[in-house]
């Protein structure tokens, strides 16, 4: 049994707008295991992204507790929370969210500099290697506005992993990409997972979800189901998709 | 956006309604920015309103009071007039005078609270008919005075700042040698529109007729030992046919014996000039301040409008699609910004009277006058209208960008969006925060350039005031040097049987005397106009601005003010009259001495002896000391040893401390104002930038940057641009500040303004402004803390 690296206990999240309170997460209990590729699925508005950002400390929970490697991180001070994000977590978003006035190379390196796990020289070397690995070395010094969406998303993934995070969080990373771009990004995720990277990904795309070995289903702010796979193999792609669709149908997907 | 679409839909009922609804929505949306514009315009108008009100009211009040008290076109001060001569009758008999009044007085040196007067005081016999205005003890109003009792005196309110005088203090008149002093008790303060300002050395002191008579008897009894002298102040109003006061005086000198007794004379305009010195200098400084403030307003407004339009492009595009014309959209923008500006201007005007009243009340002890605080509408309103028109024009021009945008361009954000692709400056892992800040600035220079300009202007202004303060020095040395014809540490004038050598021996028991010379300041006339002659044994000590000093006995040096008055220059000749006769002198040079507003000249001792008689009592021995810090101890020792037979003065005068205090106050006020400026400007600019950069902030936070680090990068951007502006401001000031300040200083008769600030003093304003921008930007960046992950969430 893998070790639990991130755990949410009775996590609740409410939003208040114009004196109206909406409960988005309802006492969610969730465990994320080391070296797992976990996908959170659910219908639109189910609270998938909210759960992801609450778990990752990008947002605070209204109730409950988040533990990272057994330590309560739900009430960390802002500076400690930032340090956790810098050193232990990596993020990939649906929109690439790269900094517009930095080149791709700089976007990747800055993340490493902030984490401060390695010397600036080592970061530069790692950035160079990641640019090669992500096949974007040829546009390394281009501005974000000068590259394609796929290239930008690959740069965003490189940025997320340059500091060797414990957990890589991804919020619909293929949502804004075309088919080829999506496959490319999913292949990278698979490759990372196979290399031992823990990943938590939110998606509503079954084709993306089959890359995971564990799928959680969220409905109306509650975790209502869990499905597990063996590690991904491209040969099993179709079968995994069918199996997942069947399971989702049971959950009224 | 939804809100805007709704309001447009609502507004379809009519153009006016549409504008009204959009205007309200715009005000609501930009209320933070409009508040900043409101504050800046409030400060501009309030400063300008107070400046104009104080200056205008001072001018008109002094004129009105001189008129009310019947001081006429000109006042002549005469002394030692024999009883057999009736000057007033002689003047009346000339037939050129419409009205004449005479106040008997006694010229005397005096001491208040241990402070020796630098100029002679004038003990004026109180005359009920003159309707002097006596202040209440708190200086907040006037009170009735039936008469002045024996032993009492009423002094100008400026005695408070000059001598720290309070009601009940003793004023000791030095009537004659050998300890013949006449003590008076200060019973109150009166308003003197002629000599009441702390900038004027000579002072009128009101006394009762019995004291006047008693002092007069002492003068008569002590004869040659008398230090005080009787005299009179003659106020003359010339008939209409007399062209000016110079002609009036010239005619009187031709037709009466006045020149035999004339001590000095001043026309009404010159008196007003003396009384307005403080207001004039502060007007110059404040006007520069208001001008800078207004430029800052324009820069901030320009930046705000531009970034506001860019931020609203999409909405503008949608509104254009819905049929709104560019001109209508520009009108709405104009209305929005003018609402902020207009409200600020209105409040500024509204509070002008109140602030002017506080200011005028605070400065009563310097101006000596209780100047009314009614707003000078005739000047303030036109000035405010001009500001309003300039702002309207400026906003209209700035909103022209709206014209150039087609609806689809705006919706697709094809215009006005800085792609930020100009990646200048490396991103360094070792200096990450700084390099990110540099990149942000380099990518969007246009957003930050205003900060540089503002910092430059503020530093220039701070440098100017700093230079004045540096020139003035902590002990007022700059002013002392400007007002004294030659430098010295201590001046000693002996009157009794003791000699100068006796005084020098006492000085040497404290410290060595490195150099010494003698200076006398007798009265002389040129073409009938009275001047002070600075007669010196070592003419090379004069502060020569141009040409040579007056080494020979047929040479004089004059101030550039006398040169301008007579239209003469180096090499020309002037006839100077002393108590023995007249002689022609060649002007060998132009020198600097601001005494009597520059109405003085310099000559050698040999030169003076051609027209005046020598008298040991004339000469004051000026010493340079090895250890100048001991001058206060030396003064005490000399006064204790020789009592009333010695007059010791430093290179200073009582009013100087008032000027230094005023300058220090100005310094504090200026730095407070600069702080307020920077804070408002930073908040205005910063809030726009933060709004534009929400996503980037969210990204950096996701990468693990703390709010504190992001605030530092944010503050560093302002700091960098402010530092550039500060450096430019410091460089520009080094080249131009002295020149500009000299123009203001010339109002005071100071023609040789040249500050020599230390390196620290030169760098201080720039460092202060830069640091201030950092602190204010860091404070303005507190909103970074509230930027959450929602800016990155697509769900």
CA distance A184 to A180: 6
Give, in degrees to the nearest 5, the angle at Cα B182 between B178 and B188.
155
B494-541 pLDDT, tens digit per residue, is 877 788 889 999 999 999 999 999 999 888 888 877 788 999 999 998
The sheet carrying A214-219 orders its strands as A89-92, A167-171, A198-202, A37-42, A214-219, A222-228
Q: How far off is chain A from B449, nearest CA to CA, in Å?
A: 18
**pLDDT at residue number B278:** 74
State the best of A79, A87, A99 to mutate against chain B, taking most chain B CBs within 10 Å: A99
Test B704 with A143 for CB contact under 8 angstroms.
no
Interface of B with A (CB under 8 A): 419-423, 427-430, 432, 436, 439-440, 442-444, 695-696, 698-709, 785, 788-790, 792-795
Q: Would an 8 Å CB–CB cutoff place A74 in contact with chain B?
A: no
Cβ-count burial B137-163 (b if 16+ within 10 Å, e if not): eebeeeeebeebeebbbbbbbbbbbbb
pLDDT at A237: 87
The reported pLDDT for the residue numbered B392 is 96
Measured in angstroms, the CA of A167 and the nearest CA of chain B are apart by 13
Please tell me which residue of chain B has the smallest CA distance to A44. Answer: B795
Average pLDDT for A80-101 = 90
Enumerate the H helices of chain A as residue ranges.
48-55, 78-87, 104-115, 120-133, 149-161, 179-194, 206-209, 237-250
CA distance B13 to chain A (A): 29
Residue labelled with tokens 């409040």: B347
Is B429 within 8 Å of A87 when comparing Cβ atoms? Answer: no
**What is the pLDDT averaged over residues B322-326?**
79
**Mean pLDDT of the region B440-452:** 86
Least CB-CB distance to A58: which of B436, B695, B789? Answer: B789
Which is more confidently placed, B411 or B698?
Answer: B698
Which chain A residue shows the shortest CA-CA distance from B795? A49
Q: Which of A41, A81, A82 to mutate to test the interface with B (most CBs of B within 10 A)?
A: A82
Q: Which residue has the higher pLDDT, B277 or A223?
A: A223
- Does residue B655 have a pLDDT over 60? no
| Contact between chains at A58 and B699 (C-beta distance less than 8 A) | no
* pLDDT for res B653: 57
**Tokens standing for residue B741:** 């300040």
pLDDT in tens, B424-443: 678 888 889 999 999 988 88
Report the DSSP beta bridge partners of residue B583. Answer: B576
Which residue in chain A has the smallest CA separation from B440?
A101
State phi, psi for B598 to the nearest 5 degrees: 85, 5
Residue of A nearest to B443 (CA): A101
Question: For position B421, what pLDDT does the model report?
Answer: 46
The pLDDT of residue B420: 47
pLDDT greater at residue B275 or residue B354: B354
Check residue B609 and give its pLDDT. Answer: 93
d(CA A233, CA B740) in angstroms, rounded, equals: 81
Q: Which residues of B touch A175 (CB under 8 A)?
A: 794
Q: What is the DSSP string of B107-156?
A: EEEEEETTEEPSS-EEEEEP-GGG--EEE-TTSSSEE------TTEEEEE
User: Do the Cβ atoms of B177 and B644 come closer than 8 Å?
Assistant: yes
**Contact between chains at B696 and A102 (C-beta distance less than 8 A):** no
* Distance between B775 CA and the closest CA of chain A, angstroms: 20
Q: Which two tokens stand for residue B25?
A: 């929505």
Poorest-pLDDT segment among A223-237, B76-90, B337-351: B76-90
**B29 with B1: CB under 8 angstroms?**
no
Those of residues 89-108 in A touching chain B at CB distance below 8 A are 89, 91, 93-95, 97-103, 106
CA angle A155, A160, A161 (to 5 degrees): 100
Higher-confidence residue of B691 and B383: namely B383
Residue B296 neighbours by CB under 8 Å, 6+ apart: B40, B454, B457, B458, B677, B681
Interval B318-335 mean pLDDT: 84
Least confident span in B77-81, B448-452, B646-650: B646-650
Residue B350 contacts residue B46 (beta carbons within 8 Å): no
- Most confident range (mean pLDDT) of A73-77, B351-355, B635-639 is B351-355
Q: What is the ipTM of this complex?
A: 0.87
pLDDT at residue B199 tops 80: no
| Residues A48, B795: C-beta atoms closer than 8 Å | yes
Q: Per-residue pLDDT tens for B24-58? A: 888 887 888 888 899 989 989 999 999 999 999 99
If you measure CA to CA, which chain A residue comes closest to B439? A101
Nearest CA to CA, how far is A229 from chain B (Å)? 27
Nearest CA in chain B to A173: B794
Q: Which residues of B touch A89 (CB under 8 A)?
A: 704
For residue B478, give how far its alpha carbon lies from the nearest alpha carbon of chain A (Å): 53
């Amino acid at each position: 049994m893998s070790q639990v690296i991130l755990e949410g206990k009775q996590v609740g999240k409410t939003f208040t707008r114009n004196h109206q309170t909406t409960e988005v997460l309802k006492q969610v209990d969730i465990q994320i295991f080391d070296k797992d590729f976990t996908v959170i699925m659910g219908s639109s508005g189910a609270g998938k992204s909210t759960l992801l950002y609450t778990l990752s400390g990008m947002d605070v929970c209204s109730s409950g507790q988040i533990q990272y490697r057994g330590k309560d991180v739900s009430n960390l001070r802002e500076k400690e929370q930032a340090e956790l994000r810098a050193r232990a977590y990596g993020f990939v978003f649906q929109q690439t969210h790269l900094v517009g006035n930095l080149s791709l190379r700089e976007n990747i390196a800055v993340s490493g500099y902030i984490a401060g796990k390695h010397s600036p020289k080592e970061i530069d070397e790692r950035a160079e290697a990641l640019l090669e690995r992500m096949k974007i070395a040829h546009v390394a010094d281009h501005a974000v506005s000068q590259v394609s969406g796929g290239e930008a998303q690959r740069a965003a993934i490189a940025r997320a992993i340059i500091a060797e995070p414990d957990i890589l969080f991804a919020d619909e990373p293929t949502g804004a990409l075309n088919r080829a771009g999506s496959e490319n990004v999913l292949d990278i995720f698979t490759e990372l997972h196979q290399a031992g990277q823990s990943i938590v990904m939110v998606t509503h795309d079954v084709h993306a979800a089959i890359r995971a070995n564990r799928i959680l289903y969220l409905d109306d702010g509650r975790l209502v189901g869990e499905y597990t796979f063996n590690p991904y193999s491209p040969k099993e792609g179709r079968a995994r998709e069918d199996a997942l669709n069947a399971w989702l149908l049971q959950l009224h997907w | 956006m939804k809100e805007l679409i709704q309001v447009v839909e609502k507004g379809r009922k009519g153009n006016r309604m549409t504008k009204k609804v959009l205007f309200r929505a715009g005000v609501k949306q930009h209320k933070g920015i409009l508040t900043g514009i409101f504050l800046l315009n409030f400060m501009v108008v309030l400063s300008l309103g107070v400046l104009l009100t104080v200056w205008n009211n001072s001018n008109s009040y002094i004129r009105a009071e001189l008129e009310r008290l019947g001081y006429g076109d000109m006042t002549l001060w005469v002394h030692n007039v024999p009883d057999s001569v009736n000057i007033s009758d002689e003047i009346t008999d000339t037939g050129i005078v419409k009205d004449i009044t005479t106040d008997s007085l006694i010229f005397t040196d005096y001491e208040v609270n241990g402070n020796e007067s630098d100029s002679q005081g004038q003990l004026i016999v109180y005359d009920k008919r003159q309707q002097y205005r006596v202040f209440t003890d708190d200086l907040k109003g006037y009170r009735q005075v039936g008469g002045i009792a024996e032993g009492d005196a009423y002094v100008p309110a400026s005695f408070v700042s000059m001598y720290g005088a309070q009601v009940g203090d003793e004023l000791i008149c030095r009537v004659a040698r050998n300890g013949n002093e006449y003590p008076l008790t200060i019973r109150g303060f009166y308003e003197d529109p002629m000599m009441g300002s702390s900038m004027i050395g000579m002072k009128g002191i009101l006394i009762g007729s019995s004291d006047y008579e008693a002092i007069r008897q002492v003068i008569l009894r002590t004869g040659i030992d008398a230090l005080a002298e009787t005299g009179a102040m003659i106020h003359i109003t010339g008939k209409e046919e007399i062209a000016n006061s110079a002609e009036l005086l010239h005619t009187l000198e031709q037709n009466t014996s006045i020149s035999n007794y004339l001590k000095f004379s001043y026309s009404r305009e010159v008196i007003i000039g003396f009384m307005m010195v403080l207001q004039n200098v502060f007007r110059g400084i404040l006007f520069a301040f208001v001008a800078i403030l207004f430029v800052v307003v324009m820069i901030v407004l320009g930046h705000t409008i531009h970034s506001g339009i860019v931020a609203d492009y999409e909405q503008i595009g949608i509104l254009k699609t819905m049929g709104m014309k560019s001109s209508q959209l520009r009108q709405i923008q104009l209305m929005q910004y003018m609402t902020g500006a207009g409200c600020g201007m209105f409040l500024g005007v509204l509070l002008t009277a109140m602030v002017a009243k506080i200011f005028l009340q605070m400065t009563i002890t310097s101006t000596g006058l209780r100047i009314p605080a009614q707003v000078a509408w005739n000047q303030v309103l036109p000035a405010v209208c001009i500001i309003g028109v300039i702002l309207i024009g400026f906003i209209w021009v700035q909103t022209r960008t709206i014209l150039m945008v087609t609806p689809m361009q705006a919706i697709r954000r094809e215009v006005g969006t800085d792609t930020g692709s100009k990646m200048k400056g490396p991103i360094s892992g070792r200096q990450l925060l700084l390099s990110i800040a540099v990149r942000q600035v380099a990518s969007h220079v246009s957003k930050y350039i205003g900060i540089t300009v503002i910092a430059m202007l503020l530093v220039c202004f701070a440098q100017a005031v700093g230079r004045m303060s540096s020139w003035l020095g902590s002990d007022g040395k700059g002013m002392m040097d400007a007002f004294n014809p030659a430098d010295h540490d201590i001046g000693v004038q002996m009157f009794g049987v003791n000699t100068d050598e006796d005084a020098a021996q006492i000085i040497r028991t404290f410290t060595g005397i490195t150099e010494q010379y003698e200076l006398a300041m007798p009265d002389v006339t040129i073409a009938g106009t009275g001047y002070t002659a600075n007669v010196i044994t070592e003419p090379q000590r004069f502060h020569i601005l141009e040409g040579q000093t007056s080494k020979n006995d047929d040479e004089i040096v004059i101030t550039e003010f006398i040169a301008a008055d007579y239209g003469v220059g180096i090499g020309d000749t002037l006839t100077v009259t002393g108590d023995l006769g007249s002689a022609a002198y060649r002007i060998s040079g132009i020198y600097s001495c601001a005494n009597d507003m520059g109405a003085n000249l310099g000559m050698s001792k040999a030169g003076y002896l051609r027209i005046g008689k020598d008298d040991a009592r004339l000469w004051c021995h000026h010493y340079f000391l090895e250890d100048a810090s001991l001058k206060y101890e030396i003064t005490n020792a000399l006064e204790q040893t020789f009592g009333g037979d010695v007059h010791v003065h430093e290179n200073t005068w009582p009013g100087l401390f008032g000027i230094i205090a005023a300058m220090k106050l100005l310094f504090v006020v200026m730095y407070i104002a600069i702080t307020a400026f920077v804070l408002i400007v930073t908040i205005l600019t910063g809030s726009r930038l933060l709004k534009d950069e929400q996503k980037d902030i969210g990204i950096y936070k996701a990468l693990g940057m703390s709010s504190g680090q992001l605030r530092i990068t944010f503050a560093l951007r302002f700091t960098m641009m402010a530092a550039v502006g500060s450096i430019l401001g410091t460089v520009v000031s080094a080249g131009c500040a002295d020149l500009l300040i000299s123009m203001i200083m010339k109002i005071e008769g100071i023609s040789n303004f040249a500050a020599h600030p230390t390196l620290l003093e030169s760098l201080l304003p720039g460092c202060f402004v830069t640091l201030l921008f950092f602190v204010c930007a860091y404070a303005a960046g507190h909103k970074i803390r509230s930027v959450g992950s929602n800016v990155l969430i697509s769900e």
